[in-house]
Amino acid sequence: MAILPCRAEGLSFRADGKPLLGPLDLELDDGGTTVILGHNGAGKSLLLNLLHGLMPPSAGHVRWLGPDGADNRRRQAMVFQKPVMLRRSVLANVEYGLKLRGVARAERRRRAAIVLQRTGLADIAERQARALSGGEQQRLALARTWVLEPEILFLDEPTASLDPGAIAAVEAIVTEIRDGGTKIVMTTHDMGQARRLADEVIFLARGQVAERGPAGAFFAGPASDPAQAFLEGRLAW
């Protein structure tokens, strides 16, 4: 059973009458990693927030077309650039989402233990989440969503302020989640990361989809002018 594909129709967002995103149409199907690229202010994070349903669009809508589309809220997850750690232990943070879904205690423990092992957090499961380093917190944020086995996972600049070691750890986890069959949709400023992780690229410019295509082709030679300028490091907007 599935909630995907996810279709945005005429999706737009305005603040104080100023258009920040769209109107745009977009469809996301299952499998692979879609990386959203674009300059600051292009609307990348906004698009993720709208797709994830954290804010209502000014116009248009997001539809989940799969047979379980009505239950989409609990089949998707998101990791924020600065994840909010609950004032609890690492283990309790991982179990929280399962608790919300009414999963029994023993089963919660079992599933949390597996995910903590996979994210390398098993040894610090009893530590207070807020006392962790930035890299550990981001791994915990991933563990917290992974344990929910989402069908689609949104990542908003997940490694923005991390050191290379922590970035590598996060990327390894993201890859493993993707290999498990979860659709990944992420934004990043790190071109190296985009090349390493992307199966597909969506390029946003001024709130519109300027280009979309397979990652290999995009990085070899983008078709649109804004994307070409972006990859060449020219400021064109």
Partner 1 sequence: MTDILNAFVLAIELIFGGDPEFVEIVGLSLYVSLTAVGLASLIGLPLGALVAVYRFPGRGTVIVILNSLMALPPVFVGLFLYLLLSRSGPLGFLGLLYTPGAMILAQCVLATPIVAALAHQAMRTLYEEYMQQLCSLGARTRQVIPTVLWDGRLRLVSAVMAGFGRVSAEVGAVLIVGGNIANVTRVMTTTIALETSKGNLALAMALGLVLLLIALGVNAAAVLISRTAR
The contact set with partner 1 (CB under 8 A) reads: 52, 54, 73-74, 77-78, 80, 83-84, 86-88, 96-97, 100-101, 128, 144-145, 148
d(CA 51, CA 56) in angstroms, rounded, equals 9
Q: Shortest gap between Cβ of 18 and partner 1 (angstroms)?
A: 22
Cis peptide before 158 (omega within 30 of 0): no
Q: Shortest gap between Cβ of 162 and partner 1 (angstroms)?
A: 19
Q: Shortest gap between Cβ of 164 and partner 1 (angstroms)?
A: 26
Nearer to partner 1, 147 or 205 (CB): 147
Record the tokens describing residue 114, joined without a space: 């597996």
Pair 62, 7: CB distance under 8 Å: yes
For 105, residues 6+ apart whose C-beta sits below 8 A from its C-beta are none
Displacement of CA 91 from its chain's centroid (Å): 22
If residue 179 lies in a helix (H) or strand (E), which one and from where to where? helix 164-179
Nearer to partner 1, 55 or 217 (CB): 55
Q: What is the torsion angle, in degrees rounded to the nearest 10, for the CA atoms of residue 22, residue 23, residue 25 and residue 29?
A: 40
In one letter, which amino acid is 46? Answer: L
Nearer to partner 1, 39 or 183 (CB): 183
Nearer to partner 1, 52 or 118 (CB): 52
Q: Shortest gap between Cβ of 20 and partner 1 (angstroms)?
A: 18
Q: Shortest gap between Cβ of 100 and partner 1 (angstroms)?
A: 5
Nearer to partner 1, 56 or 164 (CB): 56
